[in-house]
Amino acid sequence: MALFKLPFLLANRLSRDKKNNYSRPIIAISVAGVALCLLVMLIALAVTDGYKKEIRNRVIAMGSHIRISNYDFNYSFEPIPFEKNQPFIAQLENQPEIISLQYFATKIGIVKTDDQVEGIVLKGIDRSFSWEHFGNNIVEGEPIIFEDNVISNQVLLSRKLSQKLQLQVGNKLRVYFAQDPPMQRAFTISGLFETGLPEFDENFLIADLRHIRKVNRWDDDQVGGVEIIIANYDRINEMGDFVNSAIGYQLKAETIKEIYPQIFEWIAMFDTNVLVLIIIIAIICVITMISTFLIVVLEQTATIGILKTMGIKNSGIIRIFLIIASKILLIGLLIGDGIALLLSFFQNKFHFLKLDPETYYVPYVPLEMDAWMFLITNLGILMLCLSVLAIPAYYISKKITPVNAIKME
């Protein structure tokens, strides 16, 4: 046990030696460098995860995780309907990973005011719609209230469209449908929503599904599609396959990644960018530690000679200086962790780092500090640096002998 404790005792004594006037400021700089490297890594990962999650949630809130539709629904927003009461509905509702099913339909229309005309997509929903997921996007007013026997004339309008059309909550608007014969519907704006994504904010209105049924002359139990909300986004591909196998060959199920591939391909590019940044920062951290390590070892050349004279083997010498390096790394990691956690807390609470939503789709920098990411990043830096430092430690321990140490003195 004493032999096991000896390297720690010697490493502690050497690291506290006040005679090391040259290496002490270098060690302080190294600690700051490690802290800064870890901070940059954690913030880069947190921003990437937070931004991806924020954009993903906004798309899912508008379009769910998985969508069931007719095979003839070729993104024209004019779906061929099917019966709401399908035999597979019970199977889907009994799947633990599926949180909810919501029914919808879409219809192309035109909104006309006194001096503005805008083409829109009217999305019809009913009581099954998940306000829990969409509610955060409502920036003014209230959600649509559905009644059993009366079709709601309330509509949710995007803030961007409200600005173009110069309409506010409480105003009335008319939507015209180009068909034979042409039809129109009058609505009252109950609320404004904003997803930050042009695909939705520049096109969509949300209204009672029964309006689309009446305009299209559908039966009361017909819908344009079924949207599925699942519990775990990471299983979206697996659940997409499950839904496809459950619904048979008359309908198709598509994940949100398949419906909006351009958005999710763009999000996937963040992983490549952050990987390059992390590799560069890791190299800088390793170089910083190697430089500090060599300075500390060279300053203790005489000590190494004395320890070898006392019978301590090369493996013991290596262990002593790796323990010193570990202390430097751990102090730097703790400082970096503390700053990263404080920055994440204040940013998520006060949003002091702003973004232009017109360019970045979100109004502030979102930070998502995942516990596993936190742990893996810290362990990764620690193990990488110690692994790399073992090489010069081994080489120096072999080259420095008691005779060489005396000569250098």
> Residue 11's pLDDT is what?
60
Task: Give tens-digit pLDDT for 375-392.
Answer: 999 999 999 998 888 887
Q: Average pLDDT of the chain?
A: 86
CB atoms within 10 A of CB 398: 11
Checking if the pLDDT of 318 tops 90, the result is no
> Residue 10's pLDDT is what?
62
Q: How many residues does the chain have?
A: 409
Q: Can you read off the two tokens belonging to residue 216?
A: 């299209």
CB atoms within 10 A of CB 169: 15
Distance CA 191, CA 189 (A): 6
> Residue 80's pLDDT is what?
86
CB atoms within 10 A of CB 24: 15
Task: Give tens-digit pLDDT for 245-273.
Answer: 999 888 999 999 998 888 888 888 888 88
Task: Give tens-digit pLDDT for 125-160.
Answer: 999 998 988 988 999 999 999 988 899 999 999 999
Angle ∠(144,222,199) on CA atoms, nearest 5: 55
Checking if the pLDDT of 8 tops 70, the result is no
Counting residues of the chain whose pLDDT is more than 90, the rounded percentage is 50
Task: Give tens-digit pLDDT for 352-365.
Answer: 988 888 778 888 89
Distance CA 246, CA 242 (A): 6
Distance CA 226, CA 82 (A): 10
Element (H, E) at 407: helix 402-408
Distance CA 163, CA 168 (A): 8
Task: Give tens-digit pLDDT for 66-95.
Answer: 999 988 645 567 888 999 989 999 999 999
Distance CA 315, CA 394 (A): 8
More confident position, 304 or 35: 35
In angstroms, the first-to-last Cα distance of the chain is: 33
